[in-house]
Amino acid sequence: MIPTDHHPPDCLSVRDGRLFIEDCDTLALVEEFGTPIFAFSEAQITENYRRFHDAFAAGWTHGPVDVMP
């Protein structure tokens, strides 16, 4: 089932009918690099990591865990 309350992330916007990822015009990216293209928002990746980290930190009461020394 597809969620009906899904909203696109803040890093996506439509300006003058063109899709932007942060301040990058996706049409300009396609014209420069061709298709298919995978583009990511650094701000969105950072926010996703923060939310992931905070969720685990809230549930793990034994202090920080070192994954890689």
* pTM attached to this predicted model: 0.65
Over range 1-27, report the average pLDDT: 85
**What dihedral do alpha carbons 42, 10, 52, 58 form, nearest 10°?**
130
pLDDT of residue 13: 92
pLDDT of residue 65: 66
Q: Where in 1-69 does DSSP place strands (E)?
A: 12-15, 18-21, 24-25
| Domain boundaries, given as residue ranges, for the chain | 12-59
Unique residue bearing structure tokens 């990591």 = 49
Per-residue pLDDT tens digits for 17-58? 999 999 999 999 999 999 999 999 999 999 988 888 888 888
pLDDT of residue 16: 94
Taking the alpha carbons of 50, 26, 15, 3 in that order, is the dihedral positive or negative?
A: negative
- Kindly tell me if the per-residue pLDDT of 69 is higher than 60: no
